[in-house]
Chains A and B, each alone.
Chain A
């Protein structure tokens, strides 16, 4: 059996941290993506401008730089804010900006931008006739969005969401750089201490492989379900 030199439990905890981080950031990214897509497709020029600059900015900057900015800058920003609140309202407010939060915020923000594009494309793929029909039945625009647009757009968005999720999962490895003890961090410390890099990094790589392979299967299954009732070109 694989002898992990007593680092086994720490690695397992790290894996749990990685998975938690991935799911929380996914939730944030999906929410931001929906908001962003709705803003991009709206008629409000300010909303379109904000959403467009958001996606352009995010896609121009490396994820690591963004993460460092949020991690090191986040605390300074929070301190500035709490100083201000103390001076203005005499309210004691403090908030520790830890690596986990900055990881979730950064990864969520980055993939929110990619999700925005995915959802935008998917919304555009919904036939306009469907929306007109919903309107003709007297649906309000919120109702049209929730009952007609979202269920039909999900089918088109799934492959894109799947791709983004695969990339997101691998991006979570970066939080080890800002000091979160995820499995990459534990493996790095163990590899340095024991001078056995292959011994610790290859199992971690295998965990990532298992996660990506597992989610690939799950997405395929979801995709099949979402496309029930739609004739596929190449089945």
Chain B
């Protein structure tokens, strides 16, 4: 019987006990928080930035281009290090209330992740906005819609449909990149695995288990995005299916 086998196996091993499982669970909660919050911040900032990036005036789109270029051209690890080690060096920050927030490693990591994902998301949304069919905009203009209404009713919804595929990849990339949070002493999933590895010197148990955890999270995301994509593109489904 499977449960008997599982129970005896769990009895014999001293790595997967209630304490380490709780450690993994806390790590998973931290990972999900970190990824979810930074994705939300990134997405909220990316929409206006992407619109600015499509403006013809180079003084408006230039700075946004520079921001996305810098953050997409350098490794996230370096961005994390610059923010994590750099914040403490800002003169006078240790006297302000910001220090209370940024002395914890969680918030510098959150800031680095949010800035990074925002840069990638901006480019994804920009690409989707740029490929809006001309006819859609012309039709909206013919209906007398002003710029704001056109954006809200026509351009952004249609761009969202085109962006969702690339964005789902970005979300999964973010989940995987978040593993580097363990480098700045955050105990996320990877951090929990590293702690347990160093306690038991059991690399296979510690890291294969955490790899499976990430895999489960990834497949949940893939499934959710597939549902979302079906929902957004339901008007394009062939009749009768």
Contact = CB atoms under 8 A, between A and B. Distances in A.
Nearest to B176: A62
Chain A interface, >50% SS class = helix
B214 A62 contact: yes
B185 interface: no
Contact of A170 (B75, B81, B182): B75
Contacts of B5: none
A177 B74 contact: no
Contacts of A188: 81
Contact of A198 (B82, B172, B215): B82
A76 interface: yes
A171 B180 CA distance: 11
B77 A176 contact: yes
Nearest to A170: B75
B81 A174 contact: no
Interface in A32-82: 57, 59-66, 68-69, 72-73, 76
Chain B interface, >50% SS class = helix
B73 A173 contact: no
Interface stretch (B8-16, B124-132, B202-210): B202-210
Given A174-B77, A198-B89, A64 B203 contact: no
Contacts of B210: 65
Interface residues of B, number: 37
Contacts of B208: 69
A68 B207 contact: yes
Interface stretch (B36-44, B49-57, B190-198): B190-198
A69 B205 CA distance: 10
A191 B184 CA distance: 14
A109 B85 CA distance: 32
A73 B207 contact: yes
A173 B78 contact: yes
B171 interface: no
A205 B78 contact: yes
A69 B207 CA distance: 6
Interface string B186-226: 00001001100100000110011011001100110000000
Given A174-B180, A184-B77, A72 B207 contact: yes
Nearest to B197: A72
Contacts of A204: 78
Nearest to B78: A205
Given A65-B179, A69-B208, A204-B78, A60 B190 contact: no
B237 to A, nearest CB: 24
A125 interface: no
B101 to A, nearest CB: 18
A196 B88 CA distance: 10
Nearest to B90: A198
A145 interface: no
A72 B207 CA distance: 9
A205 B82 contact: yes
Contact of A73 (B75, B175, B182, B204): B204
Contacts of A170: 74-76
Contacts of B77: 173-174, 176-177, 184
24 contacts: A57-B215, A60-B214, A61-B218, A62-B176, A62-B177, A62-B214, A69-B204, A72-B207, A73-B203, A76-B204, A171-B75, A174-B75, A174-B180, A177-B77, A188-B81, A192-B85, A196-B89, A197-B81, A197-B89, A201-B81, A201-B82, A204-B78, A205-B74, A208-B75
Given A68-B197, A69-B208, 15 more contacts: A60-B219, A61-B211, A62-B178, A62-B179, A63-B179, A64-B190, A65-B210, A65-B211, A68-B190, A73-B203, A73-B204, A184-B75, A184-B81, A197-B89, A201-B78
Interface of B: 69-70, 73-79, 81-82, 85-86, 89, 172, 175-180, 182-183, 190, 193-194, 197, 203-204, 207-208, 210-211, 214-215, 218-219
